[in-house]
Chains A and B, each alone.
Chain A
């Protein structure tokens, strides 16, 4: 493998996957801690009516209006889920289930109505991207990273995610304490004068943006896995908020890197001339990480609780 091939094929795909895994992995913590882990799955379904409306408004299959529609629908879904949960007094899982299935169904009905048996207008064709399609033809070697002309040819998915990552982590750093308090004790936060609701909707907005930017780059499987698995894995290992955020980011990036190598290179080492789907493999690796933590986690792992101790340690109420 040459530098040129690495920079053209592997670097853009890996960098995109790492960024997507990092953003989704860290934001996933707040979903897991707020018992809304399936938000990613909910968003992936709820965007359909938005895509159709974007299509109807624009009258063509251009990307921008449909992406706008998708973001709108995702945010709407997040808000509706919160409203249903609060006013319906039902658990978050049920609220998400109600909202995303109804929105998805609405999307299907709209689709039939808007474009008869129109075909290529489902989320899978319009919204979901593919890691392997992200190529950087302008690169000729690692030095292209410092070449302005080559950099201008960087895939749009990668630059979008990079900007989103910067904004997300800047805001996370800025409101670190506020987000922590609203996540664990919204009542206390309100008493302290922190607008818990605003933070909640802000979080939903960023999860939606992260999910959609990542859908476009890496497809839906990886996004849904990255919003849940790294955070859940970190949850099995630590009870500390800061460590939880760090670890989930680490597991996200680790899944991306190991998954990419396992999919793209390992078959070749055994003489095969084919490769596996890299985003699929990344999701599998994140599952493997979770499995290892479940068995061998220091406090809550099966080995620690069942084999070496008589009773599981009760989890502390707050971290």
Chain B
């Protein structure tokens, strides 16, 4: 029984491939069979897609604008999960309830990787109020995400050793692009006047960003979008904005901007004008097919938007000149 259970899926895949090959009537080499790699969030899906190239179909469960903290699986998602040959999720409680299904799959011996949990504990941030758990938003620091990319590559190579050289080559190209992105972020963000390096956002998704690029990060809500902001919290942040004369605060694509508007009104009542510096991608990327729908584009967008709104020098259309022109 044990043998059947483990071998069943591979066996089925092999039988299917043989059948398809038979139908095609050609002698296609076994190396050309594609496997299915499923990721929960777009940022991971993009890494996986870049690394597997055409060796696999890279799929993403959560589309643009979807909040992974609150998302609940449907039966259709579960079927995709079951059909996938290898599954990647962020972990560190980012995916809320969804992680249960992933853990169950992992404990049943499926190839499942909690990508962010491969980072060393010393790297991870453990906010005091987050009792024993780590902040999951690790993609916000490009150098950290590059480490995650390496772990993803390792796990893919283990799963499909015959394609390891391809993965390695693709990963090398990805790493050099991530390096360039990191350098761009540092350069652009360092043009923001030092006393203005305060990032006020809707929820605490930017702590790794803050640590990597020297910003003080203030989230109105906690780390999960579940918690509600108290009045006192809003008041504290308004004080900070007025005192430091911070010109802009930011909204996020996956979180309601109600609290951010309360800040702006609060500051206006005290004679300090704050604008919405733009909409940042925090827990999900932009529309697929656009530049912002890739990891590089997403970070480029965030970095460029933040630096511009807080008084830094930025190229109008970002690192690669591919950003959609800002509307504000």
Residues of chain A whose beta carbon lies under 8 Å from any beta carbon of chain B? 4-5, 8-10, 13, 55, 59-61, 112, 115-122, 124-125, 128-130, 132-133, 135, 137-138, 140, 147, 149-150, 153, 155, 263-265, 267-268, 273-278
Contact = CB atoms under 8 A, between A and B. Distances in A.
Contacts of B4: 140
Contacts of A13: 75
A264 B131 contact: no
Interface string B71-114: 01111111100100000000001001110110011001110000
Main DSSP-derived SS at the A contact region = loop
B82 A118 contact: no
Given A133-B101, A138-B5, A60 B132 contact: yes
A40 B77 CA distance: 30
B108 A137 contact: yes
Given A61-B132, A132-B101, A119 B8 contact: no
B195 interface: no
A135 B101 contact: yes
Given A5-B79, A121-B131, 16 more contacts: A118-B130, A118-B131, A119-B129, A119-B224, A124-B226, A130-B72, A135-B78, A135-B104, A137-B110, A140-B5, A150-B5, A264-B76, A265-B75, A274-B74, A275-B76, A278-B75
A9 B130 contact: no
B198 interface: no
B231 interface: no
22 contacts: A5-B79, A59-B132, A60-B131, A61-B133, A118-B222, A119-B130, A120-B133, A122-B226, A130-B97, A133-B73, A133-B104, A135-B82, A135-B104, A137-B110, A147-B1, A150-B1, A263-B74, A263-B75, A264-B76, A273-B76, A274-B74, A276-B74
Contact of A118 (B2, B76, B105, B129): B129
Contacts, number: 116
A125 B78 CA distance: 20
B98 A133 contact: yes
Contact of A132 (B1, B78, B109, B129): B78
Contacts of A5: 79, 82
A122 B226 CA distance: 8
A135 B100 CA distance: 10
